[in-house]
Amino acid sequence: MTERRFAIEVEDLTLAYQDKPVLWDIDLHVPEGILMAIVGPNGAGKTTLIKTILGLLKPAAGRITIYGKPFVAQRKLVAYVPQRGSVDWDFPTNVLDVVMMGRYGRLGWVKWPGREDRELAMEALRKVGMANFAHRQISQLSGGQQQRTFLARALVQDAQIYFMDEPFQGVDATTERAIIQLLKELRAAGKTVVVVHHDLQTVSEYFDWVTLLNVRRIASGPVSQVFTEENLRLTYGGKVAFLSKTAVSQSTPDTLQPASSGG
Amino acid sequence: MSVQLEVQLIAVVVAVACALPGVFLVLRGMAMMSDAISHTVLLGIVLAFFLVGDLDSPLLIVGAALMGVLTVTLVELLNQTQLVKQDAAIGLVFPALFSVAVILISRFARGVHLDVDAVLLGELAFAPFDRVQFWGLDVPIALAVMGGILVLNGLFIGLFYKELKLATFDPALAAALGFSPVLLHYGLMTLVSVTAVGAFDAVGSVLVVALMITPPATAYLLTNRLSHMLGLSAVIGAGSALAGYWLARLLDANIAGSMATMTGAIFLVTFLLAPERGIVAILRRRQRQRWEFAQAALTIHLLHHEDSPQADEECRVDHLGEHLRWQRPFADEVVRLARRHGLVTQDNGRLYLTDKGRQTVQDAIVR
C-alpha cells in the first residue's frame, strides 16, 4: 500500500466525566479519502470521541491533530453533522436558512450571508433531493428530511473531513440509500468521512474502514481486516448472537437489508 | 411634547427594548432567567450606589450588569454540580441576592430614593419629571436611558444576528465553527441585565419580565421566521404599551400594570385564535383529521373485502357498525362524507369504491 496522508491523528486520548473514564488512551490514525464507521455498544464513547476531536469536549490527556495541526487551526477543513435530535426542530426558521448556517464558518463574525451562499445552499439541497423543500418550515419535516437538511448543511461547508453522528438514525430506506450514495461521492472526491454507526449489518456494505470502540479502541483499520467476529466479540462482549452472520468472513452483502425504516 | 405623549413614548421604547432580547430568551428556554436577573440587578445597583454615593451615576448600570452576569454564572455553576436542577438553581440564587439587596436598602439606604415598592412596580407616570439636557434637547432621563439601551440592543442583535441564531439553534455547530456560544450567551445576558436595570425605573422589576417574555411568546405562535419573530415581538410590545397606557387612564390605574395586562391579553387572544398554532385551529384540525381518517378507514375496509365471498355482507352500510365497531350515527356521517367526496357510491345499502376512493386508499397506505 502506498503511503497515505493521515487526515486525523489521535494519540493517547483519555477523557473522563469526573472519575468515570469515557475514552481510555485512544490511538487513531485515519488516512485521507476513506469512509469510516465508528461502531460500538451504547455508552462506548462514540459521540464523545467525535465531539472531543471537534474541540467540543476537553480531554484529560492526549493529542489530536487534523492534517498535522490542532483542530482550532483547521476548523475550515472540518464539517460536522450532529445527531438530528440535538436541536429544536420547532425553531422558527426554514430549510434553506438551516443549510446556509453551514456557510457561517467561512463568513466569520458579523458578515451576513449573500447571494453566493444562497446559491451554494440551493445547490446542496438539490444534491440531497430537497430543493422543493427550501422554504418549508423545519418543524414540518420528516426524520429523513431533517437528516437530508443537516447533510446539505455539511455539504456547503465545503470541507475536507466530514464527521456525522448517526446519520441513519430513524430515517427511511430511501433516505438511507441517498445518504450513502452521497458519502460515496464525497469519498470519490478525496474527502474523508467519519460516521458514528449503529447497524453492524451494513458496515461491510457501506464502509471501507472501521473503528471498533468500547471506551478503549478495540481495533481500527480496513473493514476486510478488522471487522472480524473476534473483534466484535471484544467490543460487544458476549451479547451479539448474530455475529457470525455479520462479520467479514461470512458476509453476504447482497442479502443485507437497510435496517431501519419509518420517520 | 406633552407629558402624556412623553409617557407613551417611554412606554413604547421600554417595551421594544425588552422584547428584542426576550426573543432569544424564549427560544433558548431561559424565560425564568429574566425573572432572576431583573431582581438581582437591584443588588448591583445598591452596591454600586454605596461605592459612588450617587443615584444618577451611570456606574449603577455597570454594577447592575455585572450582577446580572454573576447571577447567570452562579445559576450555571450550581447546575453543573448536578446536585440541583436549573429551575431550582434559579430559585436559590435570585432570592438570595435579592434579599441581600432588600436588607441593605432597608438598613443603610433609608431616605434615599430606592424604595422597594418603586423597584417592584415602578411608576411610569412620574418618568417625565426627571429630565436631562441631551444634545440641547430637554428630555426625560428615562427616555434617554431606554433609548440608549434600545439602540444598544438593536445594534447587538443586528451585528450578531446570524451568530445568535446559530448558537441558539445548534450550539454544538456554533462551537465547532468557532463562534463561541459561551461568549454570545454572556453577551446576551449582559444585554438582558442592562435592559432590566433601564426598564426598572419605568416599569419595575416584576413587569420587566412580562415585557421581555410575553410579546416574543406571542410572536412565536404567529410566525415561522426568526426575523419576523423579532419584528412582531417589537410591534406587539409597542402595541401593548400604548393600549396599556390608555387602559390605565381609563381605570386611573398603574400604567406598568396595565401594560403587562395588555401583553397578557394579546397573548391569550393569540393563543386561542392564532391561524395555525392557536388552540381553536388545532382543535378544528384534529376534528377534520378525525373525519378524514374515518373515511380512509372506510375505503380500506371496502378494498379489503370487495373481492371476498362475504363482500355483499361486509360492505353494507348497516353492517359497518358491526365490523368497524362504529356507532350508527357516526358510520352514517362517515358514509355521507365519503359519498360527498366521491370516494364511494351506494346502491341499495351496498357500498362500492370509486376510482377516487381507490386512490385515497393508496395515499393512506403509503403515508
pLDDT in tens, A174-183: 899 999 999 9
Model confidence pLDDT, tens digit, residues A204-249: 999 999 999 999 999 999 999 999 988 999 998 866 655 445 555 5
Residues 6+ apart with CB under 8 A from B23: B216, B219, B226, B229, B230, B233
Minimal CA separation from A172 to chain B, in Å: 12
Contact B225 A91 (CB under 8 A): no
Q: Which of B161, B176, B225 sits opposite A93 (nearest CB)?
A: B225
Looking at the predicted structure, is the pLDDT value of residue B353 above 80? yes
B141 vs A148, more confident:
A148
Residue B104 corresponds to which cell in the numbers above? 441593605
Looking at the predicted structure, is the pLDDT value of residue A31 above 50? yes
Q: Which of these ranges, A72-86, A125-139, B124-138, has the smallest mean pLDDT?
A: B124-138
Model confidence pLDDT, tens digit, residues B317-351: 878 877 788 888 888 889 899 999 889 888 888 88
pLDDT at A256: 39
The pTM of the full predicted model, rounded to 2 decimals, is: 0.87
Residue A139 corresponds to which cell in the numbers above? 418543524
Give A260's pLDDT tier (boundaries 50, 70, 90): very low
What is the residue-wise DSSP string for chain A?
-----EEEEEEEEEEEETTEEEEEEEEEEEETT-EEEEE--TTSSHHHHHHHHTTSS--SEEEEEETTB-HHHHGGGEEEE--GGGS-TTSS-BHHHHHHGGGHHHH-SSPPP-HHHHHHHHHHHHHTT-GGGTTSBGGG--HHHHHHHHHHHHHTT--SEEEEE-TTTT--HHHHHHHHHHHHHHHHTT-EEEEE---GGGHHHH-SEEEEEESEEEEEEEHHHH--HHHHHHHHGGG-TTHHHHSGGG--GGG--------
Contact B172 A51 (CB under 8 A): yes
Looking at the predicted structure, is the pLDDT value of residue B21 above 80? yes
pLDDT at B114: 61
Helices B181-220 and B255-273, interaxial angle, to 10°?
70
- Residues B59 and B37: their CA atoms lie apart, in Å, by 18
Looking at the predicted structure, is the pLDDT value of residue B8 above 50? yes
- Residues A257 and B305: their CA atoms lie apart, in Å, by 32
A84 vs B363, more confident:
A84
pLDDT at B202: 73
pLDDT at A261: 39
Average pLDDT of the residues in A57-77: 93
Model confidence pLDDT, tens digit, residues A113-161: 999 999 999 999 999 999 999 999 999 999 999 999 999 999 999 999 9
Averaged pLDDT score across all residues of chain B: 89
Which helix or strand (DSSP H or E) is residue B340 part of?
Answer: helix B328-340
Size of interface A-B (CB pairs under 8 A): 72
Residues 6+ apart with CB under 8 A from B38: B196, B199, B200, B205, B206, B208, B209, B212
SS3 label, residue B54: coil
Chain A CA closest to residue B172: A56
Chain A CA closest to residue B29: A88
What is the share, in percent, of chain B residues with pLDDT greater than 90?
Answer: 51
- Residues A235 and A212: their CA atoms lie apart, in Å, by 7
Name the nearest CA neighbour of B199 among B143, B156, B237: B143
- Residues B50 and B27: their CA atoms lie apart, in Å, by 37
Contact B178 A105 (CB under 8 A): yes
pLDDT at A1: 46
- Residues A109 and B160: their CA atoms lie apart, in Å, by 8
Residues 232-271 of B with CB under 8 A from A: none
Q: Enumerate the residues of chain B whose CB falls inside 8 A of the CB of residue A94.
A: 224-225
Domain parsing of chain B, residue ranges: 3-277, 280-366
Q: Enumerate the residues of chain A whose CB falls inside 8 A of the CB of residue B176.
A: 54-56, 75, 78, 80
Give A251's pLDDT tier (boundaries 50, 70, 90): very low
- Give the β-pairing of A192-196 and A35-39: parallel
pLDDT at A122: 97
pLDDT at B131: 86
Environment class of residue B239 by beta-carbon count within 10 Å: exposed (0-12), middle (13-18) or buried (19+)?
middle
Amino acid identity, residue B84?
V
What is the share, in percent, of chain B residues with pLDDT greater than 70?
Answer: 95
Residue B196 corresponds to which cell in the numbers above? 432590566
Q: Enumerate the residues of chain B whose CB falls inside 8 A of the CB of residue A104.
A: 162-163, 166, 177, 179
Give B306's pLDDT tier (boundaries 50, 70, 90): confident
Name the nearest CA neighbour of B21 among B175, B196, B180, B146: B196
Residues 6+ apart with CB under 8 A from B67: B40, B41, B43, B44, B45, B47, B97, B193
- Give the β-pairing of A209-214 and A192-196: unpaired
Q: Which of these ranges, B41-45, B249-253, B295-299, B311-315, has the smallest mean pLDDT?
A: B311-315
Cβ-based neighbour number of residue B70 at 10 Å: 18
Name the nearest CA neighbour of B37 among B56, B12, B15, B18: B18
Model confidence pLDDT, tens digit, residues B244-303: 999 999 999 888 889 999 999 999 999 999 998 899 999 999 999 999 888 888 888 888
Q: Are A99 and B185 in contact (CB under 8 A)?
A: no
What is the share, in percent, of chain A residues with pLDDT greater than 90?
Answer: 79
Contact B172 A88 (CB under 8 A): no
Give B147's pLDDT tier (boundaries 50, 70, 90): very high
- Residues A53 and B20: their CA atoms lie apart, in Å, by 36
Q: Enumerate the residues of chain A whose CB falls inside 8 A of the CB of residue B156.
A: none
Q: Which of B172, B177, B220 sits opposite A92 (nearest CB)?
A: B220
pLDDT at B117: 65
Q: Which of A75, A92, A110 sits opposite B224 (nearest CB)?
A: A92
Bridge partner list, B350:
B316, B347
Q: Enumerate the residues of chain B whose CB falls inside 8 A of the CB of residue A110.
A: 159-160, 163
SS3 label, residue B79: helix
The interface predicted TM-score (ipTM) is 0.87
Best residue of B156, B173, B227, B232 to probe chain A, by most A CBs closer than 10 Å? B173
Q: Which of these ranges, A6-10, B77-81, B185-189, has the smallest mean pLDDT?
A: B77-81
Angle at A204 between CA A257 and CA A146, to 5 degrees: 60
Q: Which of these ranges, A153-167, B57-71, B309-323, has the smallest mean pLDDT?
A: B309-323
pLDDT at B23: 97
- Residues A236 and A212: their CA atoms lie apart, in Å, by 9
Angle at B70 between CA B67 and CA B74, to 5 degrees: 140
pLDDT at A45: 93
Q: Which of these ranges, A105-109, A161-165, B74-78, B352-356, has the smallest mean pLDDT?
A: B352-356
pLDDT at B257: 87
pLDDT at A203: 94
Give B11's pLDDT tier (boundaries 50, 70, 90): very high
CATH tag for B280-366 (out of 2.40.50.100, 1.10.10.10, 3.40.50.300, 3.40.720.10): 1.10.10.10
Residue A247 corresponds to which cell in the numbers above? 462479520
Residue B242 corresponds to which cell in the numbers above? 400604548
First to last CA, chain A: 42
Average pLDDT of the residues in B156-183: 95
- Residues B204 and B271: their CA atoms lie apart, in Å, by 26
B133 vs B179, more confident:
B179
Homologous superfamily (CATH) of B3-277 is: ABC transporter involved in vitamin B12 uptake, BtuC (1.10.3470.10)
